[in-house]
Chain A
Amino acid sequence: MSAEPRLAIEGLQIRIGGRQVVDLAYLRLGPGEIVGLAGESGSGKSMTAQAVLGLTKTIGAAVAGSVVFEGIELVGLDDAAMRDIRGRRIAMIFQSPISSLNPVFRVGDVFVRALRMHGAPSKSEAVERAKAALREVLLSPELLERYPSQLSGGQAQRVSIAMALALRSEVLLADEPTSALDVTVQAEILDLLRGLRDETGMSVLFISHDLAVIAELCERVAVMQRGQIVEEGIARDVLTTPTEDYTKELVASVPRIGGGAVA
């Protein structure tokens, strides 16, 4: 692995109302790397991603430990500095792509506003960049005129990804981005993410409970259980020959046709 990770999480502890929900010893994300974060519901995967962007404060969680992004300590960073990183340098995409977009705004309104907020010099420049980004994710620039309710799930997820792309985000936190999509659309989104990584060197933290998807997309995988990482390594190795009991159980729980190995 490259010497300098782009994002390094160390000793991250998240408490909600006195209960420890995440205790993550070490997780690193190198430049241009796609790392999977697997685990069952409630294992702390999403909470970890939210803590990276300092989004856990609003739900009353206390965060301790260290999250270093390109030399910047994100834990305890003040809100103004954090806002500059959110969306622009570290982007996040979500499980339900349509409801992640405000229904009262057109796609273009949100897109242009985000670009303006994060440094596009003029509105026309922002519109051009938005159109270019939509083309890169294989969507028609006309989508800027639509409301979120007029998009399909796959289109909406592409819009979210296009936003990260247009802002030249260095890290993408993808929180179950394909779980709400059907399998063919899911495959397209995975292709898209991989292509963008190859092109732009974006690092992706891919959170999913779907081990087949992780095996297909990620180089490395970390398996979480009850807020802790129980196993970590090269994705294919971990998922084909798991060493920990929990990982074995997870792998065994994947339904498959004909009983073959995952992926």
Chain B
Amino acid sequence: MNVQPLPETVEATRSDLVGRLRTNRLVVFGLSVSLVIVLAGIFAPLIVPYPEDAGGAAHPRETLLVPSSQHWFGTDQLGRDVFSRVVYGARVSPMIAFLVLLIACLVGVPLGLAAGYFGGPIDEVIMRVTDVFLAFPALLLALALASVLPPTIGSTTIAIAVTWWPWYTRLIRGQAASVTGRPFVEGARASGVSHARILFRHVLPNSLTPLIVQVSLDVSAVILTVSALSFLGLGAQDPTPEWGLMVNQGQQYFPGQWWLVTFPGLAILITAVAFNLMGDGLRDVFDPKMVRRRGALGG
């Protein structure tokens, strides 16, 4: 007698998911803060007192002012309002993170699907290529690329995306291979469904869960990488209000004019933590086993 395996996919209804999300306070916090950051970026011109300071404006008589009611976060070495620049920064790093992850998924996911589904030589070729990319430390590869490309935001995006996609190829390949072994894929083949359709309608939706979690966790990692590259002078250039760049430029005034470094630094920290909490929460929601373990620890 053959034992019928239970389907692996958790068929939680939508309200279930929302309910489980709500009960986890850290997740609610992470989600809310992430949302605030994104909204701040979108509505930056309406929020900040000196929108022109986000760009190349200079106010020689107002340089390095301490935080006050006029300049909440003080002003920088060119007299620009730091608060305005930090808020505008919410447009730069998250946008780069979004583009990097989008490119990484667009490249990595189809390759991983093909490798896992077809197997054999196709699998071999794709996975060996990803191995080559993974053999380099990610930051080092991004650094090398960024240093040969012109220092613009576009280059930063490309440099990071190049190091990011192989992880998704690996992740999706494993999922796709296990989904491909399940009987409904053979069933779809036997019903005359084409390879392309099986890949994107049957294998992909059943492989997505870990990808969603990984991508949301990676948002903060990309933001940190963007900041690191900018800090090293290989990313955004002045006057772009990029947080890592602002920290770099403010360094020489630290600790005397501490606000130049502190506020953009805090922005990086808060953004990274918020997106991380959100990713953590999504993992909990999609993987009930983790929730239970948490429940046992945290009550």
Contact = CB atoms under 8 A, between A and B. Distances in A.
Interface of A: 53, 55, 58, 60, 79, 82-88, 91-92, 94-96, 98-104, 114, 117-118, 147-149, 153, 160, 163, 173, 179-180
B206 A96 contact: no
B191 A114 contact: yes
A95 B2 contact: yes
A55 B191 contact: no
A45 B189 CA distance: 18
Nearest to B194: A83
B192 interface: yes
B4 to A, nearest CB: 5
B192 A86 contact: yes
Interface in B1-21: 1-2, 4-5, 7, 9, 11
B190 interface: yes
B189 A98 contact: no
Given A99-B184, A101-B184, A92 B190 contact: yes
A46 to B, nearest CB: 10
B: interface residue count bin: 20 to 34
B188 interface: yes
A53 B11 contact: no
Q: Which 6 residue pairs spanning A and B have beta carbons closest together?
A: A87-B191, A86-B192, A87-B192, A92-B190, A100-B187, A83-B192
Contacts of B71: none
A179 B4 contact: no
A149 B183 contact: no
A103 B189 contact: no
A83 B11 CA distance: 30
8 contacts: A53-B190, A60-B120, A86-B189, A91-B191, A94-B183, A99-B183, A117-B192, A117-B193
B11 A149 contact: yes
A104 B11 CA distance: 8
B182 interface: yes
Contacts of A58: 118, 189
A212 to B, nearest CB: 14
Contacts of B205: 104
A153 B4 contact: yes
Interface string B1-44: 11011010101000000000000000000000000000000000
